[in-house]
Amino acid sequence: MKSALSFGAFAVTASAAAVDVCKNLPAVNSKELQAAVKTDKLLQGCEKLIEFAESTPARNRQVGTKGHNLTTDRLVEELEKLNGYYKIETQTFWYNTMITGTLSLEIDGEPADGGLIDYSPTGDVSALIVVVSNLGCNSADYTEEISGNIALVVRGTCPFVQKSALAGAAGAVGALVYNNIPDRLEATLDPDARPEGNFVPTIGLSDVQGQNLATAITGGATIMASLHVETEIKNLSTVNVIATSNCGSSDSVLVLGAHTDSVFRGPGINDNGLSAEDKANIGAYLNFDTIASPNYMNGIYDDDGPTGSVDIFHFYQVPFLDAGIPSGGLFTGADGIKTEEEEALFGGTASQPYDSNFHTVKEDAKQFEVGHLHATRQGHCCGGGRVCD
């Protein structure tokens, strides 16, 4: 779960003062909203978030840190400057968040490089490595041989959480998930349990590491691994910032959302819970996340897009769709790899990540594709205006 910033386009209630505010306001106009987007203001906002991240030792805005608290405080302050247009609330809630994590990995007694998987359970295990069939997205992919051993599974198609949970359900004592693109895999499991099974200690590998292991094992080699994972996961309180316009209809609400926190690895610059009583009044949800990738592509949220789309779609959009709320958003690519087709369409460089600093401590505003940040924000305004119409 991410701490969220939500703008309800239409109000639930309106005070007498709010009625005066609304009286002289025109209806939402898509073109005027787009014209109001200014690149310098966007970059100032990015720099401010980086400043907040740098107030923490790990240079992030993770929930529970000073950086995140400064972020939500600033949002409230900025919204309060709008002369009563919004009813502003902070909604406190509790959830599990990973504070720190360390790992060590040995393959056949030799130290090996591994990537931390956020929210992996703590564990210290040694066992044989067994290759999981296909992409490891179905219980049938996990044979009896997996039980008591370490599952080796490739990234792709389904979320990492599903792979780790299915490995746990099959009796695995650990899991190694290897990348399907160049580079070591660092990823995230959910902070909450999955219906498929319990998570197991999980470490990420590079594509080369995983492919070499899979080839050797399927060729008859017997390979042992020792995994040590230690994560600190705490139940913390944080807030959602909810700004509901005092103008409009209370039975037709457009929710515009973005998360206010970052992962603990970086400042989260480029980068839902709704009550049953409210969901019937929500006409649509538009998500704003990951919109200034330097090697960008132009995309919309779905679950069959480029590598990584399924994880983002699952995390941000599925809860709204499951509640019967139309949902979508724009996306310029995270840590996936740009295809040759996308290079032909959008420029940039094929076979390279959309954003090589995504979810890393190296992220800063200087790396962004500024022109596309501006264009994507205009797209958000266009979408919001059109839905309001």
Domains and CATH numbers, the chain: 4-85+246-388 (3.40.630.10), 97-232 (3.50.30.30)
Averages of pLDDT over runs of 10 residues in the chain (389 residues) are 48 47 73 78 82 87 88 90 87 87 97 94 98 96 98 92 96 96 85 87 97 98 98 90 83 74 70 37 48 51 45 48 55 68 79 67 57 53 52
Three-state DSSP state, 51: helix
pLDDT for 27 equals 73
Instruction: For residue 343, indicate whether it is catalytic.
Output: no
Decide the pairing of beta strands 299-300 and 327-331.
antiparallel
Three-class SS state of 288: strand
> Is residue 277 helix, strand or coil?
helix
Evaluate whether 238 touches 130 at the Cβ level (below 8 Å): no
Per annotation, catalytic residue among 47, 77, 145, 277: 277
CA–CA distances in Å: residue 240 to residues 166, 284, 314, 380:
32, 19, 20, 21
Quick one: pLDDT at residue 281? 46
Paired tokens of 239: 């807030």
CA dist 373 and 308 (Å) reads: 20
Task: Give the dihedral of Cα atoms 347, 350, 298, 361; nearest 10 deg.
Answer: -110
What confidence score (pLDDT) does residue 174 get?
A: 98
389 burial level (CB within 10 Å; 0-12, 13-18, 19+): exposed
pLDDT of residue 12: 38
308: left (phi over 0), alpha (psi -120 to 50) or beta: left
pLDDT recorded at residue 350: 85
Nearest CA-CA partner of 227 in 146, 116, 84:
116
At residue 20, the pLDDT reads: 65
Phi, psi angles (nearest 5°) of residue 308 = 100, -20
- Indicate whether this model's pTM tops 0.75: no
Q: How many residues does the chain have?
A: 389
Please check whether residue 156 is in contact with residue 180, taking contact to mean a CB–CB distance below 8 angstroms: yes
Give the tokens for residue 59. 């240079």
